[in-house]
């Protein structure tokens, strides 16, 4: 998935009200960008951080900038826009680039299911069980190489796991897919200290037959693409 407009480097002044970020462009101008991330963004929103913004000229949008990347200035990036994983994964699913799910030839996004929820993707194919795929964006890393989810308590995420369990009970496939939006991650682990309820729900879902997938991403100011599977971290 390529960014529609070339990204512009900037430095973060502050993130506030969750969805707003004041930034300084390289020419010294201060602008306010939309931050498409409802999470805590732990470790990613320190003042002075180098970031990349996407400009837009859409008259319907109040803010003319969107915050897309954190640049760790060591060759690694983190994608902070939580809408990007679904767009990148949709392209990968449609081209059958996700090996574990490559047998499916119909990809339906945002299908209603469960209790007033929408599954990110419903995959269908002749002679195959329907596969309900929920996607989560992973950006937290508190130890080198270890990606973690969630970065704050997520009752909504726990609900999604229960709904995936229900799909398995009904005879369908259910997949929890974590898309790690950090290029410096080598493995994945649930952040049980941040949200023990979610971590417990994940183990329960796995035991009930929910399939757990973790994929890396390739990230640059040009775009984001699906990367290889990542293993689960060994216990520290």
Same domain, 58 and 88: no
Residues 13 and 121 in one domain: no
Tell me if 67 is assigned to some domain. Answer: yes
Does 121 reside within a domain?
yes
In the chain, beta strands by DSSP E:
8-16, 20-25, 30-35, 50-55, 65-71, 77-79, 106-113, 117-124, 131-138, 140-143, 146-149, 173-180, 187-190, 211-220, 223-229
Could you tell me how many residues make up the chain? 236
Average pLDDT over residues 199-222: 97
Q: Mark which of 30, 52, 75 sits at the end of a domain.
A: 75
| Residues spanned by the domain of 58 | 8-75
pLDDT in tens, 160-180: 999 999 999 999 999 999 999
Note whether residue 1 is domain-resident.
no
Overall average pLDDT of the 101-112 stretch? 96
Sign of the C-alpha dihedral computed for residues 108, 202, 137 and 154 taken in this order? positive
Nearest Cα to 155, choosing from 112, 118, 196? 196
Q: Are residues 117 and 206 in the same domain?
A: yes
Averaged pLDDT, 50-55: 98
Give the model's pLDDT for residue 236. Answer: 58
The number of folded domains in the chain is 2
235 found inside a domain: no
Q: Is residue 89 part of a domain?
A: yes
Check whether residue 154 and residue 202 sit in a common domain: yes
Position 3 in a domain: no
Q: Region 14-18: what's the mean pLDDT?
A: 94
Q: What is the pTM of this model?
A: 0.94
């Amino acid at each position: 998935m390529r960014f529609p407009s070339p990204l512009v480097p900037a430095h973060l002044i502050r993130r506030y009200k969750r969805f707003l970020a004041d930034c300084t462009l390289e020419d010294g101008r201060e602008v306010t960008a939309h931050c498409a991330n409802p999470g805590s963004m732990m470790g990613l929103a320190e003042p002075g951080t180098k970031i990349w913004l996407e400009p837009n000229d859409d008259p319907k949008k109040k803010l003319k900038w969107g915050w897309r990347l954190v640049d760790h200035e060591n060759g690694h990036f983190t994608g902070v826009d939580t809408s990007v994983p679904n767009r990148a994964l949709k392209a990968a699913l449609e081209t059958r680039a996700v090996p574990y799910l490559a047998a499916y030839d119909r990809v339906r996004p945002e299908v209603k299911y469960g209790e007033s929820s929408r599954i990110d993707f419903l995959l269908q194919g002749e002679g195959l069980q329907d596969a309900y795929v929920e996607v989560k964006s992973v950006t937290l890393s508190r130890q080198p190489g270890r990606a973690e989810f969630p970065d704050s308590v997520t009752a909504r995420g726990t609900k999604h796991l229960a709904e995936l369990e229900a799909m398995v009970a009904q005879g369908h496939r259910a997949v929890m897919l974590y898309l790690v939006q950090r290029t410096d991650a080598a493995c994945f682990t649930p952040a049980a200290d941040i949200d023990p309820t979610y971590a417990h729900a994940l183990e329960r879902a796995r035991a009930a037959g929910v399939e757990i997938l973790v994929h890396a991403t390739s990230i640059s100011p040009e775009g984001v693409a699906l990367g290889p599977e990542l293993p689960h971290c060994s216990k520290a």
